[in-house]
Amino acid sequence: MDKRITLDMPVSGTTTAARPRFKLKNIFGRDWKIAYLFVLPMVVLMAGLIFWPFISAILMSMTTFNFNTGDTVQVGLRNYQRLYTNSDYLLSLSNTINFTFWSLSIKFVTGMTIAMILHSKLPWRNLMSAIMLLPWIVPEIVTALAWKSIYDPLFGGLNPILQGAGLIDKPLGWLSDSNLALGSVIAVNVWKGIPFFTLLLLAGLKAIDTELYESAEVDGANAVQRFRYITLPGMRYVILVVLLLSFISTFNQFGLIFLMTGGGPSGATRLYSILAYEKAIGSLQYGPGSAIALSVAPLMAFLIYLLSKYMRHDERAAGVQKPGLGIGKFFGRLFSFVLDIFFWPFDMLNRGIEVLGRSLRKRMTGSVEKPVFKPQGRERMGIGIRILILLPIMVFVLFPFYWVLITSFKTTSQISQRQSIFWPSPPTLNQYQELIFGSPFLVWLGNSILVAALSTVISVAIAALAAYALTRLKFLGAGLLTTAILITYLLPGTLIFIPLYQTLSDLGLINSYGALLTTYPTFLVPFATWVLIGYFRSIPVELEEAAMIDGASRLYAFIRITLPLAAPALLSVALFAFTNAWNEFLFAFVFITSESLRTLPIGLQSMVVGDILPWGELMAASLLTAIPVAILYMYAQRFLVGGLTVGAVKG
């Protein structure tokens, strides 16, 4: 009787059955079941197409292919050892360092100058801001072709301008002269990167309290001192993030340089990424090619660590300011001392100008304190000076667009005979007719639309699920996954395209839509997830909790409550993902060989055969390629800007 009661007792059975569930919840977190389902696509993507290829690249870099026997031989670290005695590698590394240093320096100074001007009182400020952002939305292939046409020594527009101004006496080969080529491509990278710096630095300036400037001015601080002791400290978080992000992107540049020079002439513009491609894909030496790509991995790891440290802590929102850029009091003071030395000449120059100004005021008005001009006059003079500074930069930004437009409406004879260089006379649609009816342009256009649209849908869906789980659900590994997402967001494609090529070859996906649809999410999903995390955190969790109290499931709350509220963020990341997939060059160039499967960037690149460049058709194609992105940008400019300046950094 006692045994039967003991065996059939429901309470004991319930307690025994509940213990495992209780333990699993304690170990894996309260929401582990649904959370792991939400993040599963992201984990599969990261593990299979990012981290495993990266590990494969490391293993591959320790091998070499013996063409005599057809075997792959293990060589340990010999590939890395050979790099430091290889003249091609040392030259490419030197080119990469020079390219990065000068590009970053010029972009920062120019971007800060533009941001400070646009932050001040200025007529048509919104229009000027929109113009300054134009290079950012232009596809990389369009940028490369436009500037290659401008630089052309025979048919380009730069030489006639400089000859007319008396700056040069004969046409120069800007991309064919080894002394000019690197500087020429640096100028193009600066043109392309100015909007990024302007956008984020302008956002940083807006976050500084204007009362600080007013108080400093009352205390007698001049313009240089206000910039040194208020602007720079107030923007140090933004400046550090912008410089690190741009450094990673610039240091690993591939498409722009490859399209313009192919690494020539005589290796003058061959960056390490181009050399890695030539070794691995061009010469089928996957081991040495991987070693070249991974030789910069320690530097990238350090930069990614710094970025993850700052991007995961929104100091501006929390009101926390870490001294010395977070690298210790000693280094902070050392950095401050270096800044003081750097700004000392500018401070002295400013003081000299002030003394000269007081002398002129005394001579013209009889009093040092009495101003020469009335307040309205001084304000107009200030606006005029700012416009004069901004004007040459605007010409630099707009001229490539003008050149593409007028060249696309010229006949081939007008271009070749250099008739009416800066205006089509008469305008014609012949180039557009030849492009549409005489080339596979429409096929490339259809491929780009298909790949970009499907990649966007896949990427946004995976990112939305993962971002929601990381912001709303409690589960084991959430912090680690968040860090991994940030790392993959920052990981350059140049480090994994070689093992990805081999992986896709093994799967039989090379030269198919599947190759692009599989690999494009590797760089679209991490960014989209990072942005959505920032937006989901801003949505009140009480709305979902109220729905679940009324009986709604977690999935129902996600679909019917959170997603509609996050519609602006979803639109932002969708547009960003579409434009990035539309513009992508490296993966499409490496993974697609069939003409019928080429996307627009690869199709346009294939129109250049040796030294034969159909400039009219290329410019017409460039214009048609940029139009869809421009329309998307015009339609949702505020969403793209909001997503980049808020979610991408705040998340």
What pLDDT score does 387 carry? Answer: 87
- What are the tens digits of pLDDT across the range 506-523? 888 999 999 999 999 988
Distances (CA, A) of 201 to 174, 229, 587: 31, 16, 31
Q: What is the mean pLDDT of the chain?
A: 82
Domain locations along the chain: 440-605
The encoded tokens of residue 320 equal 């926390």
- What are the tens digits of pLDDT across the range 232-281? 888 888 888 888 888 888 998 998 999 999 998 989 999 999 999 898 88
What pLDDT score does 371 carry? Answer: 60
Task: Provide, rounded to the nearest whole percent, the portion of the chain with pLDDT above 90.
Answer: 30
Residues whose CB falls within 8 Å of the CB of residue 650, separated by 6 or more in sequence, listed in order: 314, 317, 534
The encoded tokens of residue 284 equal 């089928």
Does the N-terminal peptide bond of residue 265 adopt cis geometry, omega within 30 degrees of 0?
yes
- Calpha distance 63→272 (Å, rounded): 19
Please say if the pLDDT value at position 549 is more than 90.
no
Task: Provide, rounded to the nearest whole percent, the portion of the chain with pLDDT above 70.
Answer: 83
Q: What predicted TM-score, i.e. pTM, was given to this entire model?
A: 0.81
Q: 440-605 has which CATH code?
A: 1.10.3720.10
CA count, 13 A, side-chain hemisphere, 92: 28
What pLDDT score does 17 carry? Answer: 47
What pLDDT score does 319 carry? Answer: 40
Please say if the pLDDT value at position 651 is more than 70.
no
Of 66-80, 248-262, 541-555, the range with the highest mean pLDDT is: 248-262
Compute the C-alpha angle 528/589/304, nearest 5°: 40
What pLDDT score does 132 carry? Answer: 82
What pLDDT score does 174 carry? Answer: 95
What pLDDT score does 240 carry? Answer: 84
Q: Where are the alpha helices (DSSP H) in 409-440?
A: 412-416, 430-438
User: Phi-psi bin for 508: left (phi > 0), alpha (psi -120 to 50), beta?
Assistant: left
Please say if the pLDDT value at position 403 is more than 90.
yes
- What are the tens digits of pLDDT across the range 585-640? 889 998 998 889 999 999 998 888 766 778 899 999 998 988 887 777 766 655 55
- What are the tens digits of pLDDT across the range 370-396? 565 566 666 777 788 888 888 999 999
**Judging by beta carbons within 10 Å of its beta carbon (0-12, 13-18, 19+), is residue 413 exposed, middle or buried?**
exposed
From first CA to last CA, the distance across the chain in angstroms is 63
User: Phi-psi bin for 553: left (phi > 0), alpha (psi -120 to 50), beta?
Assistant: beta
Please say if the pLDDT value at position 322 is more than 50.
no
Please say if the pLDDT value at position 69 is more than 70.
yes
φ/ψ of residue 612, rounded to 5: -90, 115
What pLDDT score does 492 carry? Answer: 75
- Calpha distance 487→509 (Å, rounded): 26
- What are the tens digits of pLDDT across the range 493-507? 777 888 888 888 888
- Calpha distance 112→131 (Å, rounded): 16
- What are the tens digits of pLDDT across the range 415-451? 888 878 888 888 899 999 999 998 999 999 999 999 9
Of 288, 120, 298, 275, nearest in space to 213 by CA: 120
Confidence of residue 357 (pLDDT cuts 50, 70, 90): low
φ/ψ of residue 493, rounded to 5: -65, -25
Please say if the pLDDT value at position 312 is more than 90.
no
- Calpha distance 97→91 (Å, rounded): 10
- Calpha distance 386→373 (Å, rounded): 18
What pLDDT score does 533 carry? Answer: 86
Identify which has the larger pLDDT, 67 or 621: 621
**Judging by beta carbons within 10 Å of its beta carbon (0-12, 13-18, 19+), is residue 27 exposed, middle or buried?**
exposed
Residue 533 near residue 467, CB atoms below 8 Å? yes
What pLDDT score does 89 carry? Answer: 94
